[in-house]
A and B are shown apart, each in its own frame.
Chain A
Amino acid sequence: MPADRSIESARGNPILAHASRVDRTLADATPVIDLRGLRFSWDRGATPVLAIESLRIDAGERVFLHGASGSGKSTLLALLAGVVVAQGGQVRVLGTDLADLGPATRDRFRADHTGIIFQMFNLVPYLSVLENVLLPCDFSPRRRARAEARGGSPRAEALRLLASLDLDGPRFLARQPAQLSVGQQQRVAAARALIGAPELVIADEPTSALDADRRDAFLDLLFRECARESTTLLFVSHDAALAARFDRRIAFADINATATRLAAA
């Protein structure tokens, strides 16, 4: 049945099917994240909070980035999302230097290629579970088309993702976020980050509000869905217990020269 659907959608939209193959090829060839000589400070002229000489993450990698809170991890994520722009150096995502894009294009680029999961309060309070998951499709026609190609319709793809994250049942979909447990909210956020198969998923301490059992279950589900599309996962956490499950572990202090210097001082 799923096979039928994908054939049908490929036949129905050959350009789309082609485009997604090209995307995949490109992603394979170029690193998903490529930072060089990055310098960033929130206020002009102040000491940089980030100074990263080099960081490269390839397609399909599952990377665990750990560091103390307040060390600038969230700032790095904002840079990768294109919400803020570095004062110096290069931030390439999928081969595109984000500094070359205008603000509106960067927002569009983020909508098209990046899924983001926050530590908590991920959901828009006045939208239902299903509407929250579908949000990226409202902002990105590319994500919408890719969700359609995978599920038949964005709605069907959202339902598939929610089901695979153990969030089944029609009674669940119409609920408001306030009626969900924290663990359920985080899984809905994961479904939203994953819908339309963005190349990069950034998770900023998504499990810190969960207990150990739920944390492991959450990771299982997240890994499974990322593996399905060979999505690159950048997972930020200070919880070292999780590190063993990732392909690659990066200590933030090792890559951020500012942090080292501050620690030394």
Chain B
Amino acid sequence: MIAALALRSLRHRRATAALTVLSIALSVFLLLAIERLREEAREGFAATVSGTDLIVGARTSGVHLLLATVFHAGEAGSGLRWSSYRALAGHPAVAWTVPLTLGDSHRGFRVVGTDRGFFEHYRYGRALALSIASGTIFAGPREAVLGAETARRLGYAPGSDLILAHGSGDDGFMPHADRPFRVSGILAPTGTPVDRTVLVGLEDIDALHAPERIAQTDDPLAAALMAAEPSAEASRTITAFLVGLRTRPSALSMQREVNTFPDEPLTAILPAATLQEVWALVGVAEQALRAVSIMAVVVGLAGMLVALLTGIAERRREMAILRSVGARPSQVFALVAGEAAALAMAGVIVGAVVLHVALPLARPWLASRIGLVVGGVWPSVLEWQLMALVFVAGSLVGILPAWRLYRHSVADGLSIRT
């Protein structure tokens, strides 16, 4: 009966009630959306590279190696010798290896020299393999496979020609107009840095650099020496390589072996562990986001409190009437507190529904533009908890005006005493 009265009372003040619900709904929407994106961002980040047990590069810090090889951020580093790569690739514990050579760019997108194993072994997310959206994997020399964003932003399609430059600047300082590459295929979007790459064969990277050294020197001896170098492969250095092991548990001992590799100083990292290390660095921003969304909820509830408190004066008369027909002070309390709880509940429901309607609509955009793969429509346990928390907080907020009207109704009796 009190519940029916509360609903009638809210309907009577529907403009105020709607605004209150709206402000709570917005704050709940913000809280849940930020929480969802935060969660997805962290998961997506942790799964930027998966299925790779070790990443090996020249001696450097683990974070640096990870940023360079997985995120293509920072300088590629000095590189390691092909012979070291061959030696480690032949290790009995190693199932597969994928070499990576970085340092070149094409119109702002990183060029990655690798081999066909990259497409076979690279995994991201929950063990997702790369897939070709159109065209094929590079098969011959001067063929390139483009990440989804590279192709979209630069407007390339399979069959397009592109010019590669040495260096990582936007307008690489050594363009090779005479050596155009042909786009053989374009990868489907992954939401990882792979989307922003140009993938070519290692041999092409060798070819890109080797002849120009000869052309650049006028010294016949130097030219002869260079020409006399064994094969391109023997003198090749690569930036890093990905390692898949036969058994996961051998990762730690393998890491130790690489770190103490006798021929040259190398660093091996466990990608998942180092990814977490990097995430810890950006964790402050994550906390700031959460703080902002919590503030939004506080503001939303404060709005409700203001609305309820300003209503007190005009409702004292109403409460005296209810008292006169037999309402107990506790029922007066329940009426006001119940209204606050109903407003909070409505706000939470509206906010959550709007989010779950908006999410599927925003999903393609999030995936393609920000690389966030936002899954699952049904709220997670954490989201249920957050919603429950907002509802409880809203109900608690209602206690203040309810208590004040309760006090008034006890003191007023049947006539308003000031």
Given A124-B321, A126-B11, the answer on whether A77 and B414 have CB atoms closer than 8 Å is yes
- In the bound complex, how far is the Cα of B1 from the Cα of A136, in angstroms? 12
Question: Counting CB contacts under 8 A, is B327 at the interface?
Answer: yes
Question: Counting CB contacts under 8 A, is A26 at the interface?
Answer: no
- In the bound complex, how far is the Cα of B410 from the Cα of A103, in angstroms? 10
Which residues B316-353 have CB closer than 8 A to chain A? 317-318, 320-330
- CB nearest to A135 among chain B residues: B325
Residue among B1, B328, B415 making CB contact with A107, cutoff 8 Å: B328
- CB nearest to B2 among chain A residues: A138
- In the bound complex, how far is the Cα of B324 from the Cα of A136, in angstroms? 9
Docked-complex contact A139 and B321, CB < 8 angstroms: no
Separation in Å of the B61 CB from the closest CB of chain A?
Answer: 68
Docked-complex contact B12 and A122, CB < 8 angstroms: no
Question: Counting CB contacts under 8 A, is B126 at the interface?
Answer: no
Mark contacts of A106-122 with chain B using CB atoms, 8 A cut-off: 1 yes-contact digit, 0 otherwise: 01101110001010011
Docked-complex contact B11 and A110, CB < 8 angstroms: no
Question: Counting CB contacts under 8 A, is B9 at the interface?
Answer: yes
Mark contacts of A91-116 with chain B using CB atoms, 8 A cut-off: 1 yes-contact digit, 0 otherwise: 00000000000011001101110001
Number of interface residues of B (CB under 8 A): 24
Mark contacts of B1-31 with chain A using CB atoms, 8 A cut-off: 1 yes-contact digit, 0 otherwise: 1000100110111000000000000000000
Question: Counting CB contacts under 8 A, is A179 at the interface?
Answer: no
CB contacts (< 8 Å) of A83 on chain B: these are: 323, 413-414
Docked-complex contact A126 and B325, CB < 8 angstroms: no
CB contacts (< 8 Å) of A192 on chain B: these are: 325
Docked-complex contact A125 and B326, CB < 8 angstroms: no
- CB nearest to B6 among chain A residues: A126
Given A124-B322, A135-B325, the answer on whether A116 and B414 have CB atoms closer than 8 Å is yes
Question: Counting CB contacts under 8 A, is A29 at the interface?
Answer: no
Question: Counting CB contacts under 8 A, is A68 at the interface?
Answer: no
Question: Counting CB contacts under 8 A, is A208 at the interface?
Answer: no
Docked-complex contact A136 and B326, CB < 8 angstroms: yes
Question: Counting CB contacts under 8 A, is A251 at the interface?
Answer: no
Separation in Å of the B382 CB from the closest CB of chain A?
Answer: 38
- CB nearest to B318 among chain A residues: A124
Separation in Å of the A44 CB from the closest CB of chain B?
Answer: 13
Mark contacts of B303-326 with chain A using CB atoms, 8 A cut-off: 1 yes-contact digit, 0 otherwise: 000000000000001101111111
- In the bound complex, how far is the Cα of B328 from the Cα of A56, in angstroms? 27
CB contacts (< 8 Å) of A81 on chain B: these are: 324, 413-414
Separation in Å of the B17 CB from the closest CB of chain A?
Answer: 11
Docked-complex contact A121 and B324, CB < 8 angstroms: no
Which residues A158-172 have CB closer than 8 A to chain B? none
Docked-complex contact B326 and A107, CB < 8 angstroms: yes
Given A83-B413, A83-B414, the answer on whether A140 and B326 have CB atoms closer than 8 Å is yes
- CB nearest to B326 among chain A residues: A111
Question: Counting CB contacts under 8 A, is A123 at the interface?
Answer: yes
- In the bound complex, how far is the Cα of B414 from the Cα of A83, in angstroms? 7
Docked-complex contact B326 and A139, CB < 8 angstroms: yes
Which residues A70-93 have CB closer than 8 A to chain B? 74, 77-78, 81, 83-84
Docked-complex contact A78 and B317, CB < 8 angstroms: no
- In the bound complex, how far is the Cα of B326 from the Cα of A111, in angstroms? 4
Separation in Å of the A137 CB from the closest CB of chain B?
Answer: 9
Separation in Å of the A215 CB from the closest CB of chain B?
Answer: 21
Residue among B8, B11, B321, B330 making CB contact with A122, cutoff 8 Å: B321
Question: Counting CB contacts under 8 A, is A212 at the interface?
Answer: no
Docked-complex contact B322 and A104, CB < 8 angstroms: no
CB contacts (< 8 Å) of B417 on chain A: these are: 42
Docked-complex contact A138 and B414, CB < 8 angstroms: no
Separation in Å of the B97 CB from the closest CB of chain A?
Answer: 75
- CB nearest to A106 among chain B residues: B328
Docked-complex contact A84 and B325, CB < 8 angstroms: no
- In the bound complex, how far is the Cα of B414 from the Cα of A74, in angstroms? 8
Given A121-B317, A124-B321, A126-B12, the answer on whether A78 and B326 have CB atoms closer than 8 Å is no
Docked-complex contact B324 and A116, CB < 8 angstroms: yes
Question: Counting CB contacts under 8 A, is A240 at the interface?
Answer: no
Question: Counting CB contacts under 8 A, is A127 at the interface?
Answer: yes
CB contacts (< 8 Å) of A84 on chain B: these are: 413
Separation in Å of the A5 CB from the closest CB of chain B?
Answer: 25
CB contacts (< 8 Å) of A121 on chain B: these are: 317, 321
- In the bound complex, how far is the Cα of B325 from the Cα of A136, in angstroms? 5
- CB nearest to B4 among chain A residues: A138
- In the bound complex, how far is the Cα of B135 from the Cα of A251, in angstroms? 105
CB contacts (< 8 Å) of A123 on chain B: these are: 321
CB contacts (< 8 Å) of A111 on chain B: these are: 325-326
- In the bound complex, how far is the Cα of B320 from the Cα of A139, in angstroms? 14
Docked-complex contact A107 and B327, CB < 8 angstroms: yes
Separation in Å of the A107 CB from the closest CB of chain B?
Answer: 4
Q: List 20 extra interface pairs beyond A124-B322, A136-B325, CB under 8 A.
A: A42-B417, A74-B414, A104-B330, A107-B326, A107-B328, A108-B326, A116-B324, A118-B320, A118-B324, A118-B415, A124-B318, A125-B318, A126-B11, A127-B5, A127-B8, A131-B8, A136-B326, A138-B325, A192-B325, A204-B414
B-contacting residues of A (Cβ < 8 Å)?
42, 74, 77-78, 81, 83-84, 103-104, 107-108, 110-112, 116, 118, 121-127, 131, 135-136, 138-140, 192, 204
A-contacting residues of B (Cβ < 8 Å)?
1, 5, 8-9, 11-13, 317-318, 320-330, 413-415, 417
What are the 3 A-B residue pairs with the smallest beta carbon separation, nearest first? A111-B326, A126-B12, A139-B326
Q: List 15 A-B contacts (CB under 8 A).
A: A74-B414, A81-B413, A81-B414, A103-B328, A103-B329, A104-B330, A110-B326, A111-B326, A122-B321, A124-B318, A126-B9, A126-B13, A136-B325, A139-B1, A140-B326
